Structures are given as C-alpha cells and as structure tokens.
Amino acid sequence: MKVLTANFISCAVKSCKASPSSFPLHFHDAELEQQEVKFSPQFLCNILPRIDWDALRITANELGFATLADTKPENDHLNNEQMLRDLHRLLLETSVIEV
C-alpha cells in the first residue's frame, strides 16, 4: 500500500472505528518497498490539500522518514522542488508491503 493511500483510509474493524486510534493506520516493523514513479509536481500540488498533514507526519515518523514540516506546505513553498521531490518519494514511491 502506498503511503498516499494510507493517508486516506482508517481501520475497518467495527470496534476500531469508534476509537481515535483508527486513523491514521500505524506501521511498526513494516517492510518498505521503493518503486520509481514519474515526478509530477502538478499532481502533488493538486493532492496536497486533501492530505491529512498531522497523520502524514505520524506515518512518516513511524516509517523512519525525515521529519516533515510542522505545517502543510502552501503557496510559496509549493515552488520548492526539493520539498516536492521529498513528498513525492514518501507519498508515491514508498509502499508498505508487510506489517
């Protein structure tokens, strides 16, 4: 499952849905796979408003990625190509293949 996908889903178990721990999904001792995907800054800029930034920061930390900014990038920061490439690598090129 891509990290991007994990940002949109929650635990589906009935007893889990009522719990605040149902989102984001938590990955501990997860196996990761990197798969190259064509870089599309426009796609990232379009999808960014839908990302739950706090959940993404938790997931990134659990998966061992560098700390993301405290706040979601907006406006001028969307022109920062390195930041967009880092997000692209995390969201689109990283998959959790085993938990």
The tens-digit pLDDT sequence of the chain (99 residues) is 787 777 766 666 666 666 666 566 667 677 878 999 999 999 998 999 998 898 889 888 888 887 788 888 887 777 888 889 999 998 999 888 865
The whole-number pLDDT of residue 38 equals 96
Q: Which domain CATH number covers 42?
A: 2.20.25.10
For the range 36-40, what are the long-range contacts, defined as Cβ-Cβ under 8 Å and sequence gap of 24 or more?
36/93, 37/88, 37/92, 37/93, 39/84, 39/85, 39/88, 40/88
- Which strand (E) or helix (H) includes residue 98? strand 94-98
Q: Which of 71, 74, 63 is nearest to 4 (CA)?
A: 63
Tell me how many domains the chain contains: 1
The single-letter DSSP state of residue 74 is -
Q: Which domain holds residue 86?
A: 3-98
What are the φ and ψ backbone dihedral angles of 31, each rounded to 5 degrees? -95, 130
